[in-house]
Amino acid sequence: MRSATITRQTAETDISVTINLDGTGSYDNQTGIGFFDHMLDQLARHSLIDMTIRAKGDLHIDDHHTVEDTGIALGQALAQALGDKRGIVRYGSCLLPMDDALVRTALDLSARPFLIWNVDLPTAKIGTFDTELVREFFTAFATQGGITLHVDMLHGFNSHHIAEATFKSVARALRQAVETDPRKADAIPSTKGAL
Ligand SMILES: [Mn+2]
């Protein structure tokens, strides 16, 4: 079973993340930020990665530390659960529509963190949630997860739909990339022999 638990404590946040890459997409995510929980639930549901997250952060300041640090812990959990990446498909992509929003993700579980983010969220807030934190989350997740992550918005005018489409699109791409390749289950998918 490819799973991992990460606990991370700082003066700003106290976070635990447990994931299972070979799951069914079950989730129990509680960060104290309603919209963010909704997004993390989408990430689990559409990647088929089981996900349990507890985050207690300094929300009296704002949501920034909690969202960023959850991204860090989730990225670390992904990297740990992948181990030496033997047998994985490695690459994934997804073109995902949600009403007005159309978002394209291409990713490589390369151990070379890189985020290309061409997503324009037209409002500063979704409810009480700062929309700029969507990018902060994926920056932290890609950096700690060792993901080359390209996310491009092709259309969209509703911030909730656009944000949700980014999480679903990344989730679907991730689902492909973490899958075990039945034709190469014993090999690390790189001509270098290491990822
Ligand atoms: Mn929604």
Give the distance (Å) from ligand 1 centre to CA of residue 167.
11
Give the distance (Å) from ligand 1 centre to CA of residue 160.
6
Give the distance (Å) from ligand 1 centre to CA of residue 148.
26
Give the distance (Å) from ligand 1 centre to CA of residue 184.
37
pLDDT score for 100? 98
pLDDT score for 1? 81
| pTM greater than 0.75 | yes
| CB 40 within 8 Å of CB 15 | no
Domains of the chain and CATH, by start: 3-178 (3.30.230.40)
| CB 136 within 8 Å of CB 68 | yes
pLDDT tens-digit profile of 27-67?
Answer: 999 999 999 999 999 999 999 999 999 999 999 999 999 99
| CB 1 within 8 Å of CB 22 | yes
Give the distance (Å) from ligand 1 centre to CA of residue 123.
15
Give the distance (Å) from ligand 1 centre to CA of residue 106.
22
pLDDT tens-digit profile of 20-37?
Answer: 999 999 999 999 999 999
| CB 109 within 8 Å of CB 88 | yes
Give the distance (Å) from ligand 1 centre to CA of residue 42.
9
pLDDT tens-digit profile of 78-127?
Answer: 999 999 999 999 999 999 999 999 999 999 999 999 999 999 999 999 99
**Secondary structure of residue 135 in the 3-state scheme:** helix
Q: What gap in Å lies between CA 168 and CA 55, rounded to an integer?
A: 21
Give the distance (Å) from ligand 1 centre to CA of residue 27.
16
